[in-house]
Structure 1
Amino acid sequence: MNSEISILLASYNGERYIEQQLLSLIGQTYKEWQLYVRDDGSKDETVTIVRRYEKMDNRIHLVTDEQGSLGCIGNFLALLPYSKTAYTIFCDQDDFWLENKLEVLWKTMKRRRQDVPQLVYCNAYSYNMEDGVGQPEIAYAIQSLPDMLFRCGGVQGCSSLFNDKLKKLVLQYHGVTIMHDFTVTFLAVLFGEITFIDKPLMLYRQHECNVTGIRPKSLLQIALNFWKDNKRKGILNCKTFETMKQITACFCDQISNENLKLLDDFFEFPNLSRLQMLNFVLKNHCTLYRKTYPILLKILTRKLWDNHTTFL
């Protein structure tokens, strides 16, 4: 049987975690996959570990090229052309997938129409060495453009399976991006459909080296972090805003009139008064964590721009 899923793993100095992740992939109940690993110049034994497993399993491939160190985003995006299958999923080196993760994502994806871009994603358990497996992550369904405008990040890439239609759109875009998975999510919102499986299918390892950082564990912690960060964070993130502007410019002739009008209005948001900002959010039913009030609170209590790439 031909493989239907390409798993893209970007590695860098991951010797502490990557073997556990590789074992969790090999142990998946869904077996028809190919794994492509690109290392970004590790100084530890990461590559040695991957090569050992490459010899053991012919579905595992270590990618080599002349591009050098590309950073996290570039490393993942450099892997995307290697996916020749119907579906693609990104993979972090330090997570651990529950054995039915691919099967559940794949079965859900197969029930969706494939003539439009599709993104299917799941929830995750938080995990760290001190506390072990914690509660499910606080994940919220993203269904439309108003759900995306005030987010700093997209759907977590390693939780998301996307089809060939969506992959081709991502490959067309060569502009700035805050993160590779934001680009995937934003394009899915603009042109396709997103399905959220509210079931934890992986362990999201939390440690000081995470690219996305330690995630809040509860709504109370989110609230406390919100007030604590008011002085250093803004209503909008500069790089997220620029990413949306460049993606919109790249695909402007393909975006629906309704979405294009909303985006054009949103790009004028920095020029609005605070009262006009509040009106924009309410008029367009914008949400953050499925609620409108977090955005309203930001408008009332924060400066305009946030130069940090944090995810609240």
Structure 2
Amino acid sequence: MQISVALCTYNGERFLQAQLDSLACQTRLPDELVVCDDGSSDRTLDILTRFAERAPFPVQIHRNACNLGPVDNFFQAASLCRGDYVAFCDQDDVWREDKLARCAAAFADPDVLLVMHPAEVVDSQLQPLGRIMAVPKPGVRARLASPLWFTAFGISMVFAAWLVQRIDWHGRPPDRHNKDAPPMGHDGWIYVLANMLGKIAYLPEPLVRYRQHDTNDTGAPAASGKVALQRALTAGYAQQQWLADVAACYVASMEGLARQHPGPLGERFLEGAAAYRDMWRRLAARAELYRPDLGAAHKAARLLRLAGSGGYGARDRGGLGARSLLKDTAFIMLGRAH
């Protein structure tokens, strides 16, 4: 088994050395480090070059001709990797020394396509902020047994390289978190593919310190229960319908991949499309609860029908989950439809 690390850099001189040092201190060293730099204008490339000269594993450094942005840059880096498995790596985090060893052990099951673990959120000086970026309950889950929608973070992933090398990522569905964003991120896409095509292993312990600072491309903001409820109450019909439309895009994407990969792989894509089609129906029914032209009595009746049909079942079984039921009930009871 060979494991590659796909590292993307862009003006990362401030924290890059600490991340590189944590790679060199792994108890199970990576078999290679592939770096794609997105046009840094600081000392990033100098730091990488010096590290490559003394690293205890091969280092490839690629400088992009034009800026790709983080998502496409990660896809490019992963596609250049030669290992059997790939670990996404941010330029500003720090890995626990046993990260790769712990993840490699989970691939003893050949059907495992993705290993994920929690991450500890820290400040710019690596001091804990008291938050953990969690993953589902530890253990190995069968195909389509993980939540269909889960906010996966690349820093927590090691995955089978063929998910990038054999499957075209250009037809990804939209990012469900942001209407104005490009297609879904590299980490979300890998999660979706792994859930449809094989098993996912979830480890219990945080194996990365996820550094928060003033130049994060993405971060881990803390949201209180009050804030989460306020978001639900102000989401409105347009937002709920948007989520249903995104689910429909997932269906179309999976059906397209099934046509590209006839045979057993295509059959799994079709099964995935069927699962997302069920989700689309539930989300479309949920959106009706937020229609501004319906009164509270009609909304309540629709909510009862959706609940009675299992629409709010467990998220890892394709349902909307109990929290969605609570949010929708609060929305209707408080009369905040708009």
What TM-score do the two structures reach when normalised by structure 1?
0.79
Asked if the contact 1:5/1:88 (under 8 Å) is kept, the reply is yes
Residues 250-269 of structure 1 correspond to what in structure 2 (within 5 A)? 250-252=256-258, 253-255=266-268, 258-269=271-282
Residues 1-312 of structure 1 correspond to what in structure 2 (within 5 A)? 4-57=2-55, 59-66=58-65, 68-109=66-107, 111-113=108-110, 116=111, 118-129=113-124, 132-135=127-130, 137-141=132-136, 143=141, 145=144, 147-151=146-150, 153-154=151-152, 156-169=153-166, 171-176=167-172, 177-216=183-222, 221-230=223-232, 231=234, 234-235=239-240, 237=243, 241=247, 244-252=250-258, 253-255=266-268, 258-272=271-285, 273-274=288-289, 275=303, 277-278=306-307, 282=311, 285-286=314-315, 292-300=321-329
SS at structure 2 position matched to 1:93: coil
Write the letter of the residue equivalent to 2:268: I
Query: Matches of 1:182 and 1:103 in 2, distance apart?
Result: 23
Query: Matches of 1:240 and 1:43 in 2, distance apart?
Result: 37
Name whichever of 239-248 and 160-169 sits farther off: 239-248
Query: Matches of 1:52 and 1:130 in 2, distance apart?
Result: 23
1:226 deviation in Å? 0.4
Residue segments in structure 2 that go unaligned for 5+ positions in a row = 173-182, 259-265, 290-302, 333-338
Residue segments in structure 1 that go unaligned for 5+ positions in a row = 304-312
The one of the two structures with greater contact order (alpha-carbon pairs below 8 A, sep at least 6) is 1
Counterparts in 2 of 1:24 and 1:237: CA distance versus 1, 3 Å: farther
Query: Matches of 1:198 and 1:53 in 2, distance apart?
Result: 31
Query: Matches of 2:250 and 2:282 in 1, distance apart?
Result: 13
SS at structure 1 position matched to 2:134: coil
Query: Matches of 1:46 and 1:107 in 2, distance apart?
Result: 32
Asked if the contact 1:120/1:194 (under 8 Å) is kept, the reply is yes
Asked if the contact 2:11/2:42 (under 8 Å) is kept, the reply is yes
The structure with more strand, counted as a fraction of residues: 1
Question: Deviations for 1:92-132, whole angstroms, at most 9, x for unmatched residues?
Answer: 111100111111111222x212xx45111111211103681
Counterparts in 2 of 1:136 and 1:283: CA distance versus 1, 3 Å: closer
Asked if the contact 1:173/1:247 (under 8 Å) is kept, the reply is no
1:145 deviation in Å? 4.0
Counterparts in 2 of 1:244 and 1:204: CA distance versus 1, 3 Å: same
Counterparts in 2 of 1:277 and 1:76: CA distance versus 1, 3 Å: farther
Asked if the contact 1:146/1:284 (under 8 Å) is kept, the reply is no
1:28 deviation in Å? 0.9
Counterparts in 2 of 1:128 and 1:279: CA distance versus 1, 3 Å: farther
1:212 deviation in Å? 3.1
Counterparts in 2 of 1:130 and 1:107: CA distance versus 1, 3 Å: closer
Query: Matches of 2:99 and 2:227 in 1, distance apart?
Result: 31
Write the letter of the residue equivalent to 1:297: L
Asked if the contact 2:27/2:101 (under 8 Å) is kept, the reply is yes
1:61 deviation in Å? 1.7
Equivalent residues, number? 289
1:27 deviation in Å? 1.0
Question: Deviations for 1:279-312, whole angstroms, at most 9, x for unmatched residues?
Answer: 5663653259x99222223444579xxxxxxxxx
Query: Matches of 2:17 and 2:245 in 1, distance apart?
Result: 33
Counterparts in 2 of 1:37 and 1:301: CA distance versus 1, 3 Å: farther
Question: Deviations for 1:184-233, whole angstroms, at most 9, x for unmatched residues?
Answer: 000111110001001111101123433332243xxxx5423302433258
Question: Deviations for 1:166-190, whole angstroms, at most 9, x for unmatched residues?
Answer: 3445x43321331101110001111
Name whichever of 38-47 and 142-151 sits farther off: 142-151
What TM-score do the two structures reach when normalised by structure 2?
0.74
1:269 deviation in Å? 4.2
Q: Percent identity?
A: 25
1:15 deviation in Å? 1.3
Asked if the contact 2:7/2:36 (under 8 Å) is kept, the reply is yes
Write the letter of the residue equivalent to 1:226: A
